[in-house]
Amino acid sequence: MSAWSKNGLDRLDELVARHVGADGVPGAAWLVARDGELHIGTAGSIDGSTPVQRDSIFRIASMSKPVTAVAVLALAEDCVLRLDDPLDRWLPELADRRVMVDPKGSIDDTVPAVRQPTVHDALTFRLGWGMDLADWEGQTLPGAMAAAMGLEIGPPQPSKSPPPDQFAAVLARFPLEHQPGQRWLYNMGSDVLSVVVERAAGKRFGDVLQERIFGPLGMRDTAFYVPPASMDRFGPSYLPPGWAAEPGAVFDPAGGGWAARPDFESGAGGLVSTLDDYLNFAQALLNGGSPILSRSSVAAMTTDQLHAADGSPQGGPDPTGALGWGFGVGVVRRKSHIAESPGTYSWTGGMGTSWANDPAERLVGILLTNQLFSGPWLPPIHQDFWTSTYTALP
């Protein structure tokens, strides 16, 4: 039996392409892979004139987070670091943390941390810093921290981010919002781990990724910048409809934030990649981890870490509890949509990308676009891609 329904794949291509064009996403590339059967589609343009190709390069934003988690686990397998290490072993700037009495209150009203946050806390996004997706407007600290770094809250800004040592020094000026291990808060854990990996390995974060992940997997176009020789496969990042007065407004030009290697290589959202590169990464995880991780590490990475044995939630990316969190990935706990079986692990990139591995269906899906999300939830092109992927199963 074929891994896919041909009529289903035709329908998938039709529905995704329907969202691409003058009134939708400027360009998109997608793939689904199952039991060795690979299907790829492209539509639209990377820059207004150059058609999207299979090897077009996209900003994958938060799809960088799983890559960062793998790098941490690779060093843990070598016993270079341990998941229970306090973060201040690698970032001594963060010693003697204090915690805000009220996360919505004054940053000067604090109590001592009950313990120091650990590498494990950073992997599970419970180190005490980050964005509360359920109560974003109630937070004061993320905006203050960003301003201290000369940044704005929002999509990645690699050319503006301070170098790692300065990043750590700025963090040290602020208390935690919550006690370590107490609450899931988005994003900051992966950036902190970028510095942990760099210091533990004694080399730049991007070089560690190249040595431990990109090189072994043949990910030739995945990096924190696009070299001049590859710029013809890269294009602008576009704002979503409603964010600008005119359609097609650009957030970041092709020669903008990703045109040179940044001082701070953000494990939370700094990578660019291609369909085939990210497929190599995803398939390695789905196949058990070789040659980048052991099967045991992949199992830990893709296990929900946020829910107690009785199922009671301890925060996370989904207030309903249907989606938990492992190490750098969301983990489906129960089936609540047409797409994704329980045990599926995945993540999205707010600059227009999404990916999932479904072990139960032996399936990989990837959709890359060049338009920012307008909010924290998947836009229609992504929703329809995932629905159509699963209805294409025979």
Q: Residue 90's pLDDT is what?
A: 98
> Any idea which fold 80-201 has?
Methane Monooxygenase Hydroxylase; Chain G, domain 1 (1.20.58)
Q: Residue 308's pLDDT is what?
A: 64
Q: Residue 312's pLDDT is what?
A: 55
Judged by DSSP in three states, 231 sits in: helix
Buried b (16+ CB within 10 A) or exposed e, 314-336: bbbbbeebbbbbbbbbbbbbeee
Return the DSSP state at 215: H
CB 357 within 8 A of CB 344: yes
Residue-range domain boundaries for the chain:
6-68+205-391, 80-201
Phi and psi at residue 49, to the nearest 5°: -140, -35
Of residues 262, 301, 294, 286, the one with CA closest to residue 356: 286
Digit-coded pLDDT (tens) for 181-205: 999 999 999 999 999 999 999 999 9
Cα 116 to chain centroid distance, Å, stands at 25
CATH number for the region 6-68+205-391 comes to 3.40.710.10
Digit-coded pLDDT (tens) for 239-262: 998 887 677 899 999 999 999 999
Q: Residue 42's pLDDT is what?
A: 98
CB 372 within 8 A of CB 239: yes
Whether omega for the bond prior to residue 291 falls within 30 degrees of 0, making it cis, is: yes
Q: Residue 138's pLDDT is what?
A: 72
> pLDDT below 50 — which residues of the chain?
none
∠ Cα 143 144 146 (to 5°) = 65
- pTM check: above 0.95: yes
Query: At which residue do the structure tokens 């180190």 appear?
Result: 127
Q: Residue 245's pLDDT is what?
A: 66
Q: Residue 34's pLDDT is what?
A: 98
Q: Residue 355's pLDDT is what?
A: 98
| Percent helix / strand / coil, the chain, rounded to 5 | 30, 15, 50
Phi and psi at residue 160, to the nearest 5°: -105, -15
What the block records as the tokens of 77 is 């397998």
